[in-house]
Structure 1
Amino acid sequence: MKNPPNYLVRSVDHALQLAVMLQVEGPFGVGEAARRLGVAPSTAHRLLAMLVYRDFAVRREDHQYAAGPVLSLGGRSQSHTALLRAVAMPHLAALVERVQESANLQILSGDHVRFIGSVECTQALRVGNREGMVFPAHLASGGKVLLADLPQERLDGLYGEDKWADRLDQRPNLTALRRELRNVRERGFAINAGRTESGVTAVGRAVRGPDGRAQAAVSVSMPTSRFSRNRLPELVGALSVTARDIEHEMRASHPG
């Protein structure tokens, strides 16, 4: 039997209830959410807006809310992800110290990239915590380095027309994407210049497993006003050190 904790935060509990409803029951509107939770429509609207912001929900054209990318993610070992995050977080903090910009750890889930670790820098103008959020992989810097490492047939499968039937207007041009990913492979890093968030630029690099395949990505994110091509050698060098240190520690966690 599960009893609610003494420190129950009602708004958090309501948000979690809505997330479960979206995942199990399917789309619904603000009125239905308010009725189920026993709250005012304005309160339900604010809760749903936060779920949309964190990608647990999406708002459709008919004003109904449906499960977002986070609730659709799956097929990955949670124990491996937890270990990866635990190993990486101190290295992300060290990366932030080196470059004085926010740092992130990402994994690939289908055609999205999920932020599983995030450390903010201390500058007044900075990119905030992205942990738990998801973005289209072909737009994010970490997503690009992960896609660039996929076998061609898997990449084609992810971006086939049948997978994008209900969002063809968002489907990338596969020829252009292949060309961009080829450049990413040759350079060893990827840049996202405002493609996921206006005014934000990010640089990403792969973290590789014992088999040499990319298992995650590390990235640094900064206000575009603070980015310049002259910073690339510094940023890519720092990312390379961070990726190497994470890789070494992950191998030590799985000897042999």
Structure 2
Amino acid sequence: MRNQTGGTLSSVDNALRVLELLSVRTSLRVIEVADHLGVARSTAHRILAALLARGFVVQDAHKIYRPGPAIERFRLPHLGRPRATEDLVHPHLERLAAAVGETCHVAVLEGNGTRFLDSVESFQALRVGNRIGMLLPAHKTAIGIVLLAELPLTTLRSIYPRGLTGDAREAKQTLVALEGKIRTVRRTGYAVNMGDSDVGICAIGMCLRDPFGRAFAGIAIAIPTPRFDRKSTQELVRELSNTAEAVRQEMAQGLTLESPVSSGGAAHSPLADN
């Protein structure tokens, strides 16, 4: 048991050392990780594979590893854990669902997928169901698209080294299409999904941002396709925007209340050091 425990602790320590290295390096190769840790390449590859599966790193077509989207969640002290995000946002999600009469979701980016953290279902008989815990392709969900739009293009291409279909021959074509959607999102501030993840569902998504403007999750209104009316898009976008702003204000208030005040009277936020 002692050897097994020691081996586990060593693996955890090595993974943490890789994350520390990524904080000062923008890219890593397997051989560089092996040299840094003093381990075999096969061991370094297993560590990187585990980090890749959890979204802490992404790998490009040249087998170079870069910081992944999961790292962003640890830059916020109150929102590093999915549970904290759910606790903060859920009351706002309930109010949004009641206001629009449709199912509403909160999700985060996990690798190249969208992980649903919370849902509030519509009261209507025909409604979109709860998706809590589901992991769907990010490029096929409204929340996924708005969160992908927050990433630099180099990171985006690293997440999809073989394109959206997994066929390297189609990689360039499919990524061009995705980048077109992302440009639209960056211009409008929201994404519309017309049955990409499910032919019976349409959705409108928007980022949730902290008081410093950083996206930490996404929120969406999901509507059965037969009931979706394009003319209502702007009204739904306003509801999403109001909800996102209410979440941001609550976060800002929480940071103000929790920041210690120095003798000089200035409040210090732990985020200021990031």
Greater shift, 95-104 or 80-89, is seen at: 80-89
Who is 1:190 aligned against? 191
**Alignment length (residue pairs):** 184
Consecutive unaligned residues in structure 2, runs of 5 or more = 1-52, 57-69, 257-268, 270-274
Cα distance between partner residues in 2 of 1:229 and 1:208: 26
Letter in 2 for 1:84: T
Shift of 1:81: 2.1
For residues 168-190 of structure 1, give each alpha carbon's deviation from its aligned partner in whole angstroms, at most 9, with x where no partner exists.
28967111111110011111110
Cα distance between partner residues in 1 of 2:253 and 2:104: 23
Cα distance between partner residues in 1 of 2:189 and 2:251: 20
TM alignment of 1:17-166, pairs within 5 A: 72-73=53-54, 75=56, 76=70, 77=74, 79-161=80-162
Who is 2:166 aligned against? 167
Cα distance between partner residues in 1 of 2:195 and 2:128: 12
Shift of 1:79: 4.7
Q: Is the 8 A contact 1:104 1:220 kept in 2?
A: yes
Q: Is the 8 A contact 2:128 2:222 kept in 1?
A: yes
Shift of 1:235: 0.6
Cα distance between partner residues in 2 of 1:84 and 1:248: 14
> Structure 1 residues 209 and 225, CA, compared in 2 at 3 Å: closer, same or farther?
same
Q: Is the 8 A contact 1:84 1:250 kept in 2?
A: no
Who is 2:213 aligned against? 212
Output the TM-score relative to the length of structure 1. 0.66
Cα distance between partner residues in 2 of 1:79 and 1:233: 32
Q: Is the 8 A contact 1:142 1:205 kept in 2?
A: yes
Shift of 1:134: 1.1
**Residue aligned with 1:173, SS:** helix
Shift of 1:213: 2.3
**Residue aligned with 2:180, SS:** helix
> Structure 1 residues 105 and 249, CA, compared in 2 at 3 Å: closer, same or farther?
same
Letter in 1 for 2:252: R
Cα distance between partner residues in 2 of 1:219 and 1:73: 23
**Residue aligned with 1:129, SS:** coil
Letter in 1 for 2:167: L
Q: Is the 8 A contact 1:194 1:200 kept in 2?
A: yes
Cα distance between partner residues in 2 of 1:80 and 1:132: 14
Letter in 2 for 1:112: G
Letter in 1 for 2:102: E
Cα distance between partner residues in 2 of 1:74 and 1:233: 33
Cα distance between partner residues in 2 of 1:228 and 1:181: 23
Cα distance between partner residues in 2 of 1:250 and 1:210: 7
Shift of 1:85: 0.9
Shift of 1:205: 0.5
Shift of 1:80: 3.2
Cα distance between partner residues in 1 of 2:54 and 2:191: 23
Shift of 1:74: 5.1
Q: Is the 8 A contact 2:211 2:249 kept in 1?
A: no
Shift of 1:193: 0.7
Q: Is the 8 A contact 1:146 1:217 kept in 2?
A: yes
Who is 1:11 aligned against? none
Shift of 1:139: 1.1
For residues 18-62 of structure 1, give each alpha carbon's deviation from its aligned partner in whole angstroms, at most 9, with x where no partner exists.
xxxxxxxxxxxxxxxxxxxxxxxxxxxxxxxxxxxxxxxxxxxxx
Cα distance between partner residues in 2 of 1:73 and 1:246: 26
Consecutive unaligned residues in structure 1, runs of 5 or more = 1-71
**Residue aligned with 2:116, SS:** strand
